[in-house]
Amino acid sequence: MDTTRTYLISLFSGDGPPPPEVDLAAIMAELEKINDDIRAAGGWVFAGGLAATSSATVVRKPDAVSDALLTDGPFIEAKEHLGGISIVRAADYDVALGWAERIAGATGLTVEIRPFEQGGPGQQPTTE
Amino acid sequence: MPDPAGRPPVTSADIARVFRAEHGRAVAVLIRALGDIDLAEDAVQDAFAVAVARWPRDGMPPSPAGWIITTARRRAIDRLRREASRDARQSEAALIAAPDEPREEGPVRDERLRLVFTCCHPALSREAQVALTLRLLGGLTTAEIARAFLVPEATMAQRIVRAKRKIRDVGIPYRVPRDADLPPRVTSVLSVVYLVFTEGHTATSGSELGRPDLAAEAIRLGRAVVELMPDEPEAKGLLALMLLTEARRPARTDAAGEPVLLADQDRACWDAALVAEGHALVRECLRRNAPGPFQIQAAINAVHTDAATASDTDWVQVVALYDQLLEVFPTDVVRLNRAVAVAEVEGAASGLGLVEGLDLGGYPAFHVVRADLLARLGRSAEAAAALDRARSLTANRVEERLIGLRAARHDA
């Protein structure tokens, strides 16, 4: 039985630039190490950091014919926001959980892990 | 009906006993075989329903657990076939992740071990862990668990459904964790069992609310955990702690139901068999020399239950054990308990000195200890004030409990 699932690991960060004592280069290097391990385990799908929330645009278009209403700024104004994501695949939840823990440890950020619905659209890995 | 072989007739109490004893094992095996918790539970229920019809007529089978598992498996297959022929439900029976793993070396591990780790997986809330453990491993009904935790049955049912759904959705594996993950996962299992115990322990005064005996259930779970993890000294420590605490239950309240302090308890009322078993476990732990919080707390209880009278208590030993406990568990509550022991060794003034620095103003026991030490130092006005403070806090907690119960009812 194939128990492989795809998980979204979300990283939440506070607004504004990171405090000066944070060594961004060291964190990035550590993250790259974790990503290498994920790749080596065959779990890699995608990962990336998001640009500032001020760059976000909210798009509303209730149906196919109405005009789109664009709003400058993020959908949810909050003290913490989605700062980056990592998408991984694993046959074992504890393995994915372990990656999430390492990402949290390396960044000091709050991290959420959540599975994609099974069998939903986009569940099949794209052929290389 | 007389049994042809002359065996005593099987009563419904006998079957209930088998149910409680074997439910965990049967469900654990069936989850492994079927890959689905709900299917496994239903199958085991079905099997017991058959047992209720057959055993009084045919007699108890030689291996009741084996009979239940075989019957449950057959029933589950029947059910799956029926549903598969009706529609394509079988394919959507979302299966729990039971990765095929190489056969473990040595004796085959008890299937219940997987179950206990799945129920206590740290991705589930503590409440969900407790409910699942009691339901799947302990064989308690949802109604019984709800009554025990003073929540409406609908709330508890929803909690269990949500927990099972999360197990399925995220793919919590049905297996014993890898060695690297094991220490925190074992701690999680032991915490669940201890929480069930403390819930039952504090419930002794509230028995009129009709809670089933959670303390006994926790001890049963504790025994199972020791059986499943014989090399885990903290599991033995937890069982010993529970046994030694439970042993004192008969002496803990007087005829009027009022609590009795440890020093004033009638030690003849303690359960000697539980004390002996607890002491034996503590001695085993000491030989292992791998102390952890549960083992040290059990050892402290062993010192208390070793004393024929309160004045015979080896307080020097108690202080030494609290010193050890503080190293692994540095909390103000432990410091408070240590101060009580220090007061017995060095006098009330030393004890009070240690107590005064603690940040436990919202904890009734803190004020009770202060009151006691102040009284011994002849500072009776201050002692009375401290007792008043304790009383007001205790009253609030009872009130809070009732409000919480009402709020939970509203939630349903």
Percentage of residues in chain A having pLDDT higher than 90: 70
Q: DSSP 3-state assignment of B135?
A: helix
What are the residue ranges in chain B where pLDDT is below 50?
A: 1, 89-95, 99-108, 204-212, 396-412
- Taking alpha carbons only, the member of A1, A95, A34, A103 closest to residue B172 is A95
- Taking alpha carbons only, the member of B157, B158, B163 closest to residue B118 is B163
Q: Which of B90, B170, B172, B179 to mutate to test the interface with A (most CBs of A within 10 A)?
A: B170
* Residues of chain B with C-beta less than 8 angstroms from the C-beta of A1: 35, 95, 98, 100
Q: Angle at Cα B52 formed by Cα B50 and Cα B57, nearest 5°?
A: 100
Going by C-beta distance under 8 Å and a sequence separation of 6 or more, which residues neighbour residue A89? A4, A5, A6, A7, A42, A43, A44, A45, A125
Query: Between B94, B173, B178, which is nearest A93 by CB?
Result: B173
**Prediction ipTM score:** 0.85
Q: Angle at Cα B175 formed by Cα B173 and Cα B176, nearest 5°?
A: 125
Q: What is the pLDDT of residues B221-250, one digit of tens each?
A: 999 999 989 999 999 999 999 999 999 888
A118 and B172: CB-CB below 8 Å? no
Beta bridge pairs of residue A90: A5
How confident is the prediction for chain B on average, in pLDDT?
Answer: 84
Q: What is the pLDDT of residues A84-95, one digit of tens each?
A: 999 999 999 999
Q: Is the pLDDT of residue A68 over 70?
A: yes
Q: What is the pLDDT of residues B120-143, one digit of tens each?
A: 999 999 999 999 999 999 888 899
What's the rounded Cα separation, in Å, for the pair B302 and B285?
12
- CB pairs A-B closer than 8 Å: 37
Contact B134, B217 (CB under 8 A): yes
Which range among A68-82, A107-121, B205-219, B248-262 shows the weakest confidence by mean pLDDT?
B205-219
> All domains of chain A, ordered by start, with CATH?
5-16+24-84+93-115 (3.30.70.1060)
The whole-number pLDDT of residue A124 equals 57
Does residue B90 belong to the interface with chain A, where contact is any CB pair within 8 Å? Answer: no
Nearest CA in chain A to B34: A1
The whole-number pLDDT of residue B39 equals 92
Going by C-beta distance under 8 Å and a sequence separation of 6 or more, which residues neighbour residue B395? none
The whole-number pLDDT of residue B104 equals 40
* Residues of chain B with C-beta less than 8 angstroms from the C-beta of A94: 173, 177-178, 181
Q: Angle at Cα A67 formed by Cα A63 and Cα A68, nearest 5°?
A: 85
Tracing tokens 């014993």 back to the chain, one arrives at: B176
B97 and A114: CB-CB below 8 Å? no
Contact A35, A68 (CB under 8 A): no
Q: CA of A121 to nearest chain B CA: how many angstroms apart?
A: 16
Runs of H (alpha helix) within B133-271: 142-148, 153-170, 182-202, 214-228, 233-247, 249-252
The whole-number pLDDT of residue A126 equals 53
> All domains of chain B, ordered by start, with CATH?
12-88 (1.10.1740.10), 332-412 (1.25.40)
The whole-number pLDDT of residue B403 equals 41
A3 and B177: CB-CB below 8 Å? no
The whole-number pLDDT of residue B280 equals 97
* Residues of chain A with C-beta less than 8 angstroms from the C-beta of B184: none
A114 and B170: CB-CB below 8 Å? yes
The whole-number pLDDT of residue B274 equals 96
The better pLDDT of the pair B211, A33 is held by A33
Q: Is the pLDDT of residue A12 over 60?
A: yes
What's the rounded Cα separation, in Å, for the pair A10 and A85?
5
The whole-number pLDDT of residue B213 equals 76
Contact B383, B376 (CB under 8 A): no
First-to-final CA distance of chain B? 46
Beta bridge pairs of residue A48: A85
A78 phi, psi to nearest 5 deg? -150, 165
Contact B96, B166 (CB under 8 A): no
Q: CA of B85 to nearest chain A CA: how many angstroms apart?
A: 22
Which range among A10-24, A100-114, B376-390 shows the weakest confidence by mean pLDDT?
A10-24
The whole-number pLDDT of residue B398 equals 42
B171 and A97: CB-CB below 8 Å? no
The whole-number pLDDT of residue A113 equals 98
Q: Is the pLDDT of residue A63 over 60?
A: yes
What's the rounded Cα separation, in Å, for the pair B132 and B113?
14
User: Among residues 97-116 of chain A, which lie with CB inside 8 Å of chain B?
Assistant: 97-98, 113-115
